Amino acid sequence: MQTLVDAPARVPERALVALGSSRRVLVLGGALVLLLAGVVLSLALGVREVALGESWRALTDPVVGNVDHAVIRGQRVPRTIIALLAGAALGLAGVLSQGITRNPLADPGLLGLNAGAGLGIVVAATAFGVMSPLGAVWFAFLGAAVAAVAVFAIGHGRPVQLALAGATLTALLTPISNLVLFRDVDALNSLRYWSVGALTGRDLAAVAVLWPFILVGAAIALFVAHRLNGLALGDDVAAALGQSVGTTRAITGIAIICLAGAATALAGPIALVGLAVPHAARRLIGTDYRWTVPLCALLGPVMLLAADIIGRLVKADELEAGVVAAIIGAPVLIAVARGRRVAGL
């Protein structure tokens, strides 16, 4: 009888654990389906509408001289791949930034890392004539690293001060980048699309150069995900559990610089993707970084692809993805800034 009485109390607990894992798997699967749908729509929709069947033929059996096939292969495939890589990098950089700072406002854009990387690329183009992605990405890493050191030195690791320091640095570096860029006509012509956060202006050659950096950053992000759960409990608790807090932050910082620098070099200084995506992921899947990190890697490209598709459809001459992404992410920033409590931070 004791077994019959106790069993109902134990079974629901196990069922709840299983249900939680099942829900997380379903959410990840749903995000993957959204990502695949975004890729299909990105190839088919635009100023020139192409049927899905024709889009598939352009990929599998292209016809020389077919305008639709030329548009798909020459324009939409590169920008779709750029959206996938840059979106994943920004989503991961955002969740890592919020994890190591325990600050819901942390984001590579708001913390000044994107602005620092952008200034590095502008300096590379104007002062040294470096236009190639391989050369520019090192300047992007250097700019992002200097910005990160400056923000943490000014903010002393405190959430509010970090946000203020990052916003101040972004407000300072962005006009400096624009001023330097606008004074060099050749650099401006080369970087005019990149400077506003567009998925155009880069080709598959840039993707071939930059994807290894994003892969390294993503691998580090998955490696440190379980450690971020410890940091979420506080530095003292994490240290008591045997975790080296300084090492975790240093490794995670390297990943953030790789991701933010490569994404900026690839698609320009796109803001708020890294802010909105982690908040959406936590609402969908909870605060366990072992699940949140891979979900952000999926939702980041979904958001950037959606922004790019919307930008193509709302204007005949297209609206840059960076602008649309900022419009999408702005309500999230407003909600967080008004003080809504975010679990796990």
pLDDT per position as a tens digit, 149-178: 998 888 776 767 887 888 899 989 999 998
Tens of pLDDT, residue by residue over 286-345, are: 899 999 999 999 999 999 999 999 998 886 677 888 889 988 888 877 776 675 544 445
Mean pLDDT computed over 60-86: 91
63 found inside a domain: no
CB 98 within 8 A of CB 106: yes
Q: Which residue has the higher pLDDT, 185 or 279?
A: 279
Q: Tell me, yes or no, whether 21 lies in a domain.
A: no
Residue 186 lies in a domain: yes
pLDDT of 5 higher than 50: no
Residue 6: predicted pLDDT: 41
31 part of a folded domain? no
pLDDT tens per residue across span 80-135: 999 999 999 999 999 999 999 888 878 888 889 999 999 999 999 998 888 888 88
Q: For residue 45, is it within any domain? A: no
Segments forming the whole domain that contains residue 92 = 78-337
235, part of any domain? yes
pTM of the model: 0.88
Is 304 inside a domain boundary?
A: yes
| Lookup: tokens for 343 | 């679990």
Q: Which one, of 281, 282, 273, 280, lies nearest residue 330 by Cα?
A: 273
**Count of domains observed in the chain:** 1
Please answer whether residues 41 and 309 qualify as being in contact, where contact means their C-beta atoms are separated by less than 8 angstroms. Answer: yes
CATH code, domain carrying 165 = 1.10.3470.10
Distance, C-alpha 303 to centroid of its chain = 9
User: What pLDDT does residue 18 have?
Assistant: 52
- Please, where are the H alpha helices in the chain? 2-44, 52-60, 67-71, 77-101, 113-127, 133-155, 159-182, 185-191, 204-232, 235-240, 245-267, 273-285, 289-314, 321-337
Cβ(298)–Cβ(35) under 8 Å?
yes
Higher pLDDT, 107 or 202: 107
Q: Which of 104, 87, 82, 158 is nearest to 278 (CA)?
A: 104
Q: Are the C-beta atoms of residues 90 and 105 closer than 8 Å to each other?
A: no
Handedness of CA 40, 305, 191, 90 (dihedral sign): negative
Residue 58 lies in a domain: no
